[in-house]
Amino acid sequence: MEIAPGAVHVPGWLGLDQQRELVAACRAWATGPVPIRHTALPRGGVMSVRTVCIGWHWRPYRYTRTADDVNGRRVAAFPDWMVRLGRRAVLRAYGDEAAAAAYTPDTALINFYDGRARLGMHQDKDEKSSDPVVSLSIGDTCVFRVGNTETRTKPYTDIELASGDLFVFGGPSRYVYHGVPKVHEGSADPATGLRTGRLNITMRVTGLQG
Ligand code: MD3
Ligand code: FE
Residue 35 has pLDDT above 90, yes or no: yes
**Ligand 1 contacts CB of residue 205 (under 6 A):** no
Q: Does pTM top 0.95 for this prediction?
A: yes
State how far the Cα of 76 lies from the Cα of 28, in Å rounded to an integer: 10
pLDDT of residue 128: 98
CATH number of 2-204: 2.60.120.590
State how far the Cα of 107 lies from the Cα of 205, in Å rounded to an integer: 6
**Closest C-alpha residue for ligand 1 atom 23:** 174
Average pLDDT, the chain: 97
Rg (CA), the chain: 16
Residue 210's pLDDT band, with cuts at 50, 70 and 90, is confident
The ipTM of this complex is 0.97
Per cent of the chain over pLDDT 90 is 100
Please list all protein residues whose beta carbon sits less than 5 angstroms from ligand 2, which is an ion: 124
Per cent of the chain over pLDDT 70 is 100
Rounded to the nearest whole angstrom, what is the distance from the C-alpha of residue 178 to the centroid of ligand 1? Answer: 7
**Ligand 1 contacts CB of residue 135 (under 6 A):** yes
Q: Average pLDDT in the 11-16 region? A: 98
Rounded to the nearest whole angstrom, what is the distance from the C-alpha of residue 199 to the centroid of ligand 2? Answer: 14
Residue 202 bridge partners (DSSP):
109, 135
For residue 129, give Cα distances in angstroms to 48, 76, 175, 182. 27, 21, 11, 29
Q: Average pLDDT in the 47-72 region? A: 97
**Closest C-alpha residue for ligand 1 atom 17:** 133
Residue 33's pLDDT band, with cuts at 50, 70 and 90, is very high
Residue 141 has pLDDT above 90, yes or no: yes
Ligand nearest to the backbone CA of 50: 1
Q: Average pLDDT in the 107-116 region? A: 98
- Span 156-189, pLDDT tens digits: 999 999 999 999 999 999 999 999 999 999 999 9
Residue 195's pLDDT band, with cuts at 50, 70 and 90, is very high
Q: Determine the residue of 53, 58, 124, 166 to mutate for testing ligand 1's pocket, defined as the one with the most ligand atoms within 8 A of the Cβ atom.
A: 124
Rounded to the nearest whole angstrom, what is the distance from the C-alpha of residue 117 to the centroid of ligand 1? Answer: 14
State how far the Cα of 133 lies from the Cα of 5, in Å rounded to an integer: 14
